[in-house]
Amino acid sequence: MLPAAGDLDPRLKEVLSRVRLVALDVDGVLTDGRIVHGPHGESQSFCAHDGFAIAALLAAGIRVAWISGRGSPATERRAAELGVGELCLHAGRKDLALQAIQERLGIDPQATASMGDDLPDLALRRRSACFTAPANARPEVLQRADLRTRASGGAGAVRELAEHILRAQGRWQAIVDAHGG
């Protein structure tokens, strides 16, 4: 069971209450990290629970950015389906990509949360008030994370982070109620 925002460290809850931008790696965070090449090209698998969470963040006015060192039509299509307007593919240094997004949106690092699973994603930590790692992230990433999810990448990790943010901001119950809760 996901702990309520009240169960988070008070400092972390305060940080999440100010989040206006969530920056996410793609491979290993939004997907399980597998890349499948078939006769019709590359395919990726995205978690529907993460998609719901991204839609909830966007509906709450929180911007979402996907920053990936790779790029694929599957990633572009899923981002478009969800309405993710900040998509940075083939990023070199992810901290510089995030900085450009923050400057364009007028959102500072203290209002940014990010999630990554592998060494290149640690650069996101430099530009984020809260850096999160999915349960199956590399050990070096887990050691440096402010928050670790119980779920693995591509299996609800983004949903956990989004729920923590929305609970910390007092918005989660309204989402539950709107769906018949």
Task: Report the pLDDT value the prediction gives residue 40, as an integer from 0 to 100.
Answer: 73
Report in angstroms the alpha-carbon separations of 104 from 131, 144, 155: 21, 27, 31
The DSSP code for 121 is G
The residue ranges of every structural domain in the chain are 10-72+90-175
Task: Report the pLDDT value the prediction gives residue 44, as an integer from 0 to 100.
Answer: 80
Parallel/antiparallel/unpaired status of strands 36-38 and 86-88: unpaired
Beta-bridge partners for 63: 21
Domain 10-72+90-175 sits in CATH at 3.40.50.1000
Residues whose CB is less than 8 angstroms from the CB of residue 50 and which lie 6 or more positions away in sequence, other chains included: 30, 154, 156, 157, 158, 159, 162
pTM of the entire structure? 0.92
| Per-residue pLDDT tens digits of the chain, which is 181 residues long | 455 445 778 899 999 999 999 999 999 999 987 677 777 777 788 889 999 999 999 999 999 999 999 888 889 999 999 999 999 999 999 999 999 999 999 999 999 999 999 999 999 999 999 999 999 999 999 999 999 999 999 999 999 999 999 999 999 999 999 988 6
Q: Per the structure block, which two tokens stand in for 167? A: 């609970």
Is residue 174 within a helix (H) or strand (E), and if so which, with residue range? helix 172-178
